[in-house]
Structure 1
Amino acid sequence: MAVSTAGCTSEPDDPPEEVEIAAVGDMNGAENTTFDSPSGRNGAAITELVENDEIDAFLGLGDFQYDTAYCEDYVKYWQPLWGGAKSKLYWVSAPNHDWEPGRNEELDNFMNDQCPGSTGKSAINQERGWIYNGEPYSKDFGNWHVAFLSSALWQYDESEARAATKWLDKDLAAAKKDGKHLAVVHHEPYFTSNTESHERAYEHKPWIDVMWKHRVRLSLSGSQHNYERSCPVNNADQCVPDGMTAFQVSTGGIGLRPFTSNPWYISHRFSDTHGFLRLTLRENGSFNWRFVPTSGFGTDVGWRPAPQ
C-alpha cells in the first residue's frame, strides 16, 4: 500500500537484491553414469535447482570428468548426470583432468556445444561465445563481481598466468571502483589443508596478493577432494576482519581424501561427505552459506555480515 507523506506518495523500498549460487568441483569419476552415485546425486540435486529456477548460477570449480576427458567422455559420462545444470554453468578449467596441452583440450569445445552429441552451451558460453580453457573472464551477479581464472595456466604457461594476474588486477580495480563486492573462482586452492596428494598452490600467491589488494570478499576453489572454509584471511595467512573467506569445495563425486595437516586459518572442514555449496550473495556485501550434503552427514552453515 502507498504511504502519503506531506502530499507526496511513495512506494515501499524494494527488498535487497539477492543472488543464489550453487558451487562444486571434482565432479564425475571415469566412465561413471550411475545416477545413485555421489556424482549422480549431486548432479540431480543441482539440476533440480536449475529447473525450478532456485539458483541464478552454478559455478563449476574444475575437474569435471576424470581421468582424461575428451569430447566423447563429457558427452557420454558427465552430460547424463550433470547436463541439466549446464544452462546456468560458469566454469573454470583445471590442470590434468580438464586441460593438459597435447593430452586433453576439449572442455572448451564441450562448453560451447561443439562436441558431437552435446546438448547446449554453458551459461557463460551463451553470453560470450567460445572461451578457450585458460581464458580469464568475469561476470556481474547483482552487486557482486566474480572473476574466473584457470589454475592450469600456472602449470602449462606461466607467462599467461602472469598476464592473467595483470588482468585480474585491472578487472578487480574497475569493479571495485563501480562499487561491486568481489569474488574470485579458481580450481587449485591456496588456503587449504594438505592431503597425501596435494598441498596449497604456492604458485597462486600473485593472484592472492591481488585479491587482498582489492579486498576480495570470498573465493571458491576445489581440487582436494574434501571441504574446507577459512576464516576471513589476508595474503599473509592471518585471520583479519576484512580478509577473504576461502571455500574449497571438491566434493562433487570423486573419492574423498583425509587431511594431513591442520592450518590455523581453516575454520571448518570435513572429508567424509559429498555435496555442494549454496551461497546467497546480498547487495550490501553480506552473504550466507550452506553446505548441502547428498552422500554423508557433514555440513556447514553460516553468515558473514556486510563490510564496515
Structure 2
Amino acid sequence: MRRNRVIAGTAAVLLGATGLWAASLATGGGDTPGPGPQPTTTVAAPPQGATRGPDIRIAAVGDMNGPGTRDPKSASGRNGAAIARLVRTNQIDAFMGLGDFQYDTARCADYVKYWTPLWGGTKSKLYWVSAPNHDWQPGRNEDLDNFMNGQCKGAPAKAAINQLRGFIGNGQPYSKDFGTWHFAFLSSAYWRYDPARARQLTVWLDRDLAAARAKGRHLAVVYHEPYFTSNTSEHGRAADHKPWIDVMYKHRVRLTLSGSQHNYERSCPVNNRDKCVRDGMTAFQVSTGGIGLRSFTSKPSYIAKRFSDTHGFLRLTLHGNGSFDWKFVPTSGKSTDAGKRPAP
C-alpha cells in the first residue's frame, strides 16, 4: 500500500514538517508553525467583505460504527442510511465526520467490511478528522487516511476533501470554505501523541482563522475531543485543548463540532472562560452515530441542551450572514434539539 509520507517506528507519531508545510500552503499560511500564541481575550474586528452567500446544508456526527457491526437496522446502520439518503438526493452540501469512524482499532479490512456497507454512501460529501486511538494510534492502526483516499483494497471511493486535495495524513490540518463560511479541521489526536506538535498547530490555526476572517468569512472549527462538555464515566473535557480554544475565541469562531462522549450536547454561545456571552462559540458535541451511549456525571453551566438516550445526527443550515439553524435528527430514540442563532 502506497503512503504519501515516511513512517519509521515511533516517528509515525509525527507528520513532520512536510505535512505542516503542505497544510500551511494550502490555506495561505507562512512558515512552519512555532510555539503557540499566549491566551488572549482581545476583541477581534468584525468581519469585512462578503456577508451574503448561499445557504450551506450540513450533516454532522461522530462515533459511528461498533466492532463487527454490519446490521442495517442497528443504530449505526440507520444513521448511515439516513445521511447517505441526504447525500444521494442532494439535500446536504457536506457531511462532517467527527472522528471514531470504526471501532475498535480499525485497519483497512475493517473499514471495507463494516463501515463501508453502512456508511459508504456518505463518502462523496465527507470531510473528516481523525480521532486518537480508534481512528489513529501510531504503530497500531494507521489506515484511516488511506481509506479516505481510496487506497484500501475493495473501497476505491475517496472522501470529498480527498477528491479536492489528494492524500491527507491522519494528523494533517486543513481548511475549506463553504460559501461565506470557513471551516478548519484539526486532529485532536496530537494532544495525546505529541502535545508539542499540537501546541505548534495553534499557530497554524491562528493564521488560518485570521486570513479567513479578513476575507469576511464566518468561522467554524471541527475537532474530535470536546472542550465544552459534561463529564461521563469515561471522559472529561479535553482541558489540554485550551490553546486552540483561546485562538478560536480570539477570532470569534461561531460554532464548533466535536464528538467523543457518546451522547449529544449543545453549549450556549461560550467564550474561552466558560462564560455565556453574545459573541461566543456554539459548541455542538455530537457523538451519537451508533456506538453505545453514555450518561452524564456533571453539568457545566454553559451546557444549554443535552441528552444521552438517542442516536441520530445534527443538521445545520448556515446562512450567508453568519446566522445558522440546527436540528438534531433522531434515528433511534426520541430526544431532539432545534433552534436558530442570529447573525453577529
Give the TM-score range, shorter chain: over 0.9
Moved over 3 A (4+): none
Matched, 1:205 2:242: yes
| 1:236 aligned partner, one-letter code | R
Aligned position for 2:128: 91
| CA distance in 2: counterparts of 1:159 and 1:74, whole angstroms | 30
2:223 equivalent among 175, 178, 186: 186
Query: Which residue of 2 is the match for residue 150 of structure 1?
Result: 187
Are 1:31 and 2:68 an aligned pair? yes
Offset from partner CA, 1:107-136 (integer Å, 9 cap, x none): 000000000101300000000000000000
| 2:118 maps to which of 72, 81, 84 | 81
Distance (Å, rounded) in 2 between the aligned partners of 1:71 and 1:285: 39
Deviations 1:267-307 (Å, cap 9, x if unpaired)?
00000000000000001000000000000001000000000
Match of 1:62 in 2: 99
Following the alignment from structure 1 to structure 2, what is the Cα–Cα distance between the partners of residues 199 and 162?
20
**Runs of 5+ in structure 2 lacking a partner?**
1-51
How far 1:159 moved relative to its partner? 2.3
* SS across alignment from 1:231: strand
Give, as a single letter, the amino acid of the residue that structure 2 aligns with 1:93: S
Aligned residue number for residue 17 of structure 1: 54
Root mean square deviation, CA, Å: 0.7
Contact map agreement 2:65 2:289 (CA 8 A) in 1: yes
Structure 2 CA distance, aligned partners of 1:136 and 1:197? Answer: 27
Higher relative contact order, structure no. (Cα contacts within 8 Å, ≥ 6 residues apart):
2
1:241-278 Cα distance to aligned partner (Å, 9 max, x none): 00000000000000000000010000000000000000
> Which residue among 206, 209, 227 is the counterpart of 1:169?
206
The separation in 1 between residues aligned to 2:326 and 2:115, in whole angstroms, is 26
In 1: Cα distance, 2:60 partner to 2:342 partner: 21
Structure 1 counterpart of 2:137: 100
The offset of 1:16, in angstroms, is 5.2
- SS of the aligned residue for 1:289 comes to strand
**Identity %, equivalent residues:** 74
Inter-partner Cα distance in structure 2 for 1:212 and 1:134: 23
What is the TM-score normalised by the length of structure 2? 0.85
Distance 2:238 2:81 in 1: 31
Of 299, 302, 316, the residue aligned with 1:262 is 299
Kindly provide the amino acid, as one letter, of the partner of residue 282 in structure 2: T
Report the secondary structure of 2:252's partner residue. Answer: coil
Task: Structure 1: state its 5+ residue gaps.
Answer: 1-14
Name the structure 2 match of 1:160. Answer: 197
Task: State the distance in 2 between where 1:294 and 1:38 align.
Answer: 7
Distance in 2, matches of 1:222 and 1:16, equals 28
Partner of 2:327: 290
Residues paired across the two proteins, number:
293
Is 1:306 the equivalent of 2:343? yes
What is the match of residue 7 of structure 1? none
CA distance in 2, matches of 1:178, 1:157: 32
SS in 2 for 1:224: coil
1:57-100 CA deviation, whole Å, 9 max, x = no partner? Answer: 00000000000100000000000000000000000000010000
1:199-228 residue CA offsets vs partner (Å, 9 max, x unmatched):
000010000000000000000000000000
Shift of 1:162: 1.6
- Residues 151-160 or 265-274, more deviating: 151-160
Deviation at 1:160, TM superposition (A): 1.8
> Is the 2:129–2:185 Cα contact (8 Å) retained in structure 1?
yes
SS at match of 1:33: coil
SS in 1 for 2:306: strand
Which has the greater radius of gyration? 1
1:112 to 143, 146, 149: 149
